[in-house]
Amino acid sequence: MSLKKAYEQYFKMGTSVSVFDMKSERAKEELVKHYSSMTAENEMKPMFLLDKETTLANPEKYNLQPAMKFDSAVKYLEFARENGIALRGHTLVWHNQTPIWFFKKGYQDNWDAPWADRETMLARMEWYIKSVLNFVQTEYPGVIYAWDVVNEAIEEKAEEGWRKRSPWYQTVGEDLVLQAFRFARKYAAPGVKLFYNDYNTFNPFKRKTILEYIVKPLMEEKLIDGIGMQTHLILKECDRDLVQYEETLKCFGATGLEIHSTELDIHNADPSEEGLNKLADVYRKLFSLYVKAKKEGTANITCVTFWGMKDDVSWLTGFRKERSYPLLFGDNWEEKEAYHTVLQVAEEASR
Ligand code: GLA
């Protein structure tokens, strides 16, 4: 049995894929076996697609239309096409992993340089979105089925509203999300789904702010097709967070938009049997929520994507500054208890 087969009737099963995975035969085998959707972990982010050397060599020429390069994306596009795996585009407009020069007057590569003005930034935004979508849709039509158009535009403390520290906010201002989705809709091929993606969406303030500031205005203009819930969870906090997570599924689901769980992992520092059983238990609860929401029609979940295929490659070890064992497969691809549990949830649901 494979993950994608087990969940076929409910939603796509996805994973992020790193550049190292793309070089590993074993990783590619597992990818083809278990997943029907994939997301490039980094290589389709602006820091990879903007051509710094060419742009900065002639900032006047490229002022409104930065030079682009797509070689880092091509291996993902080709692999996805060859193996019939749907590719999630991640991500067009984000404050992170976008070089600072992109936001600066004359492309000065320096944090202290003045920002480019709003008109310039809107032109650069449109050019960026248009170039990326045109490239993938011309060279690899039908391969990318959904895009995270904007990632993380709401403040960590959601009661503060917009993430005002973001260079996008600093330069474009409050309508940055609306503008980005207008451009994305203008250039996206018919049928390509446009998503807003954010983390800690179980936070009640954040949920409310996302609905008010982002989803409602975008829905009014029919610009958004789905909401991405990143789903980076922490095992020790799941008792509390899953209650709110279910509520968010309901609230987001009630909009009628598609819901993707876009970056699922559960930080867990305990590799003992007890730790791994606890992890499996939380995965059971989470997948039960997904299946229940899907079956009862409370949330139209169409894809669940893990952020990494196996423990030792997870970003969490670096981020949390302790070794993490957050995923379904161990360092040597061993099937963890959590893996069996996730399969079991699907089997039980289909009985
Ligand atoms: C965010 C981004 C992802 C990734 C993770 C951490 O959630 O959306 O692209 O960078 O952080 O790895």
Model's pTM, two decimal places? 0.98
Q: Is 174 one of the annotated active-site residues of the chain?
A: no
Q: What whole-number distance in Å separates Cα of residue 209 and Cα of residue 203?
A: 10
Q: Is the CB of 151 under 6 A from ligand 1?
A: yes
21-47 tens-digit pLDDT:
999 999 999 999 999 999 999 999 999
- State percent of the chain over pLDDT 70: 100
Atom number, ligand 1, closest to the C-alpha of residue 97 = 10
DSSP string, 287-304: HHHHHHHHHHTSSEEEEE
State whether residue 92 is helix, strand or coil: strand
Q: What is the pLDDT of residue 160?
A: 85
- Nearest partner of 154 among 198, 109, 105, 220, judged by Cα: 198
Q: Where are the beta strands (DSSP E) in 210-337?
A: 226-229, 232-234, 258-267, 300-306
Residue 156 is predicted with a pLDDT of: 78
Q: Measured from the CB, is residue 305 less than 6 Å from ligand 1?
A: no
- Can you tell me the distance from the alpha carbon of 301 to that of 9, in angstroms, rounded to the nearest whole number? 11
State the Cα angle at 339 between 335 and 344, rounded to 5°.
130
Task: Tell me if 241 CB under 6 Å of ligand 1.
Answer: no
Low-confidence ranges of the chain (pLDDT < 50): none
CB atoms within 10 A of CB 313: 20
**Residue 85: which residues within 8 A CB-CB, separation 6 or more?**
31, 32, 35, 36, 37, 38, 79
Take atom 8 of ligand 1 and give the residue whose Cα is closest: 151
Contact 218, 178 (CB under 8 A): yes
How far is the centre of ligand 1, averaged over its atoms, from the C-alpha of 318 (Å)?
13
Instruction: Answer yes or no: 274 catalytic.
Output: no
At 133 the pLDDT is 98
How far does residue 251's CA lie from ligand 1's centre (Å)?
23
Predicted confidence at residue 259, as pLDDT, reads 99
Catalytic residue among 152, 155, 246, 258: 152
230: Cβ below 6 Å to ligand 1?
yes
The rounded Cα 248 to chain-centroid distance in angstroms is 17
